[in-house]
Structures are given as C-alpha cells and as structure tokens.
Amino acid sequence: MNVILLGPPGCGKGTQAARLKEKYGLIPLSTGDMLRAAVAAGTDVGMKAKAIMEAGHLVPDDMVVGVIADRIGERDVQKAGFVLDGFPRTVAQAKSLDEMMKRMGWTLDHIIELKVDEKALFDRIDKRARDARAAGGEVRADDNAETLKKRIVVYREQTQPILPYYREQGRLVSVDGMADIDDVSRQLEAIVGRP
Ligand code: ADP
C-alpha cells in the first residue's frame, strides 16, 4: 500500500507519516528529510540544495524526482509500501510520479490532503523551532518567520495546483488537519483502512 500526504509546511504531514509507519509499516519518504541528510553528508545533491532550501525555494524537479525514484526502487520500500511527505510538490513532480508508478506496475492508493488554516502554520512552525531548541537540538535553517512566509507563498503558487490535478481525476480525499493529532490519525485510518 502507498499513501501521499499533501498540505502546506507545518500541516502535520511528518507527524502523520510517522504514525502511518507505526500502524501499517509503511516507509515514510520525506524529500525534505532526504535533502537535509544530503546537505549534512555534503553530497552533490546536498551542495546544490542547501542555499535553495535555506531561502525557502523549491529545489529543481529533476533533482527530487531522482532522489525519490532511487529510493522507491529499493527493496524495503517495494516490500513494505510507502507514505510520501513533501513529494510531489509541483504538478511536474506529480506527473513524474504517475510515470514512475506506471513503470513499476503500481497504483497510488490514497492521496490525502491535510486541510489547515494558514494562520495556524506560523504558530506550529514557531513551536517546532522552540521545541527543538528546548530539547537541545538544532533548529531547521528554514524554520523562521521570514523563510516560512516564502515557503507558504511557494506552496500556494507551485504546490497547491496539485490538488485540482488529483481532484479532477477523482483521486483526492481531504481531512481536517486542524483537529488534534489523534483525531487526524483516526481520520486517516478511516480512509486507509484497518492495519
Ligand atoms: P516543510 O514541509 O515543512 O516545508 P520539508 O522538510 O518538506 O518542509 O522541505 C524543506 C525544503 O526542502 C523545502 O522548502 C524545499 O526547499 C525542499 N524540498 C523538499 N521537498 C521538495 C520537493 N518535492 N521539491 C522541491 N523541493 C523540495
């Protein structure tokens, strides 16, 4: 089985992806995490992505499509299924994903939008930064009010058009991402089915 979680930065995709891993054994594939790992490891992809991510822009489609294609082809993902968080982020990426799936003879099972008020996003990202600091961890370089504003504009302009792309094909389901975390999980389980 596979699931795609869609929604703006701070909507709770990462949190719910982790829960889908716990309940269904799906492997979370977060392009943000993968790119941050590439930056930390100083790979070619990481070196190209670093400044782009810090500015709140999107890294080029071919780069993320390559990263995802490599990972989806691996044995563990093929066996356990996956939950995508942060990909696709443009209509071009969504189309590449459709092609990838077709080549592998897979279909996308559940495409789910987490609907949230934009106003709440600033508070959530601010809380994520404060929690990271309190835990003695590192705050993400792009988790500050200025970059978040940019990320939300980028979301609106480049990522939101994915919603009608999937909706018109009758493939999109929406859940209320403003509900508390457990409630959102229950909404997802109602869509995905019993573990
Ligand atoms: P969030 O969902 O909180 O915005 P992510 O961790 O998903 O954060 O992504 C962080 C950054 O990584 C993005 O702002 C962007 O620069 C880059 N990125 C992640 N996924 C993609 C993608 N699919 N396409 C292009 N850029 C991406």
Give domain limits for the chain.
Answer: 2-192
Say what the pLDDT of residue 195 is: 64
Distances (CA, A) of 125 to 5, 71, 117, 175: 18, 27, 13, 20
Q: Which has more confidence, 85 or 127?
A: 85
Residue nearest to atom 16 of ligand 1 (CA): 53
Say what the pLDDT of residue 173 is: 97
CA of 129 to the centre of ligand 1 (A): 16
Say whether pLDDT at 194 is over 80: no
pLDDT tens digits, residue range 70-94?
Answer: 999 999 999 999 999 999 999 999 9
**Which ligand 1 atom is the nearest neighbour of the CA of 155?**
4
Say whether pLDDT at 53 is over 70: yes
Closest CA to 71 of 126, 2, 134: 2
Percent of the chain topping pLDDT 70: 99
For the chain, strand residue ranges (E) read 2-6, 27-30, 82-85, 110-115, 172-176
Give residue 101's pLDDT band: very low, low, confident or very high (50, 70, 90): very high
Say whether pLDDT at 57 is over 80: yes
Whether domain 2-192 has CATH 3.40.50.300:
yes
pLDDT tens digits, residue range 8-28?
Answer: 998 999 999 999 999 999 999
pLDDT tens digits, residue range 154-184?
Answer: 999 999 999 999 999 999 999 999 999 999 9
- The catalytic residues are 13, 89, 128, 140, 151
Mean pLDDT of 103-128: 92
Tell me, using a 6 A CB cutoff, whether residue 9 lines ligand 1: yes
Residue nearest to atom 6 of ligand 1 (CA): 32
Which of 18-27, 119-128, 132-141 is the most confident on average?
Answer: 18-27
Mean pLDDT of 42-65: 96
CA of 119 to the centre of ligand 1 (A): 20
Give the span between the Cα atoms of 45 and 18, in whole angstroms.
25
Tell me, using a 6 A CB cutoff, whether residue 184 lines ligand 1: no
Mean pLDDT of 59-64: 97
Mean pLDDT of 86-112: 96
